[in-house]
Amino acid sequence: MELDSHAETCCTGANCMIVEYTGKTCNLVSYKKNNQNDELTDVPIVEAATAYNAPTVETYIHVLPQSLYLGNVIEYSLLCPNQMRHNGLIVDNVPRHLAPDPTTATHSIYMPEEGLRIPLEIQDVVSYFDTRTPTTQELEDCKRVLLTADTEWDPHSEQFMMNERAFNASRPSILKA
């Protein structure tokens, strides 16, 4: 599971299993917007699940509602940090070696409702954590936790911009260097 701050929506790959189809699809254009050959059409919007072996040795099923399924295209998944934050998760994607005062919260994803912290690793400049396709037995027996909200996700909603502007207007001292 790689964190991708440029991804507008979580994209699940072959390390995930589809739990439910929403009946909706979308078309994707890669970051090479001028290259029409990079467009994927009718990409299903799904609820997907992946297995995470926590350092505590417990296996969790991470569920990603409102994700794009690209399991036939990519082996890994791309996580949209803001989509996870929108679900109440605390995502700290600053690598520990670059943090001014690293703590156990640094370079991790924290799920307050579960009390679960996922430590992140780094490869090159990409933050990630390992997951795998869950077994049918794990889907039935292991604790499920939501990485993203099960409400409809609209990354193009103007509400994000309006919320940020309202916050900045209410606290102008934060904007001063």
pTM for the model: 0.88
98: which 2 tokens?
């670059």
- Helix, strand, coil shares, percent, the chain, to 5: 20, 35, 45
One DSSP character per residue, 69-100 reads: E-TTT-SS-EE-HHHHHTTT-EEE---GGG-S
For every one of its 177 residues, what pLDDT tens digit does the chain have, with 9 covering 90 and above?
Answer: 999 988 889 999 999 999 999 999 988 876 555 555 678 889 999 999 999 999 888 999 999 999 999 988 889 999 999 999 999 999 999 999 999 999 999 999 999 999 999 999 999 999 999 999 999 999 999 999 999 998 888 888 899 899 988 988 888 777 775
Distance from C-alpha of 72 to C-alpha of 39, rounded to nearest angstrom: 14
List helix spans (H) across the chain: 81-85, 136-141, 159-170
Beta carbons of 44 and 21 less than 8 angstroms apart: yes
Beta carbons of 14 and 75 less than 8 angstroms apart: yes
